[in-house]
Amino acid sequence: MTGRQWKGTAFGGWKSVQDVPKLSDKVLLGELPIDKYITHNFDGIEKVQELVDALKSGDCLRGVLKIGKYEPVEAPKVTVLKSQKVCGGALKLVKHWSECN
């Protein structure tokens, strides 16, 4: 291979500054269910090495390490009423309730 370069990517060709916020928006709107990709859960900071070993072994797709007690707060329900593709993105009409609105 003369005069060519091979380069790897961390996000499969996605540009992190532009595209990671799009991914997080999809997760928050419920369009991308990430819970089904979590294959291992570990409780306690002392389980860090077990999590690393599971990731290195190839058995673990995504692992979650719970460090301390966490009381989840129910997020306000967001419902996508309409979605339309516009200029390489999406325009969404959503219905939600929040304390500030």
On whether the CB atoms of residues 58 and 81 are closer than 8 A, the answer is no
pLDDT at 2: 65
pLDDT at 26 over 80: yes
Residues 29-85 pLDDT 10s: 888 888 888 999 999 899 999 999 999 998 888 899 988 877 777 776 788 888 898
Can you tell me the mean pLDDT for 81-99?
Answer: 84
Give the predicted TM-score (pTM) of the model: 0.45
Nearest to 79 by CA among 43, 28, 19, 12: 28
On whether the CB atoms of residues 78 and 94 are closer than 8 A, the answer is yes
Contact residues for 35 (Cβ-Cβ < 8 A; gap 6+): none
User: In what helix (H) or strand (E) does residue 65 lie, and over which residues does it extend?
Assistant: strand 63-66
Residues 7-25 pLDDT 10s: 666 656 777 788 888 888 8
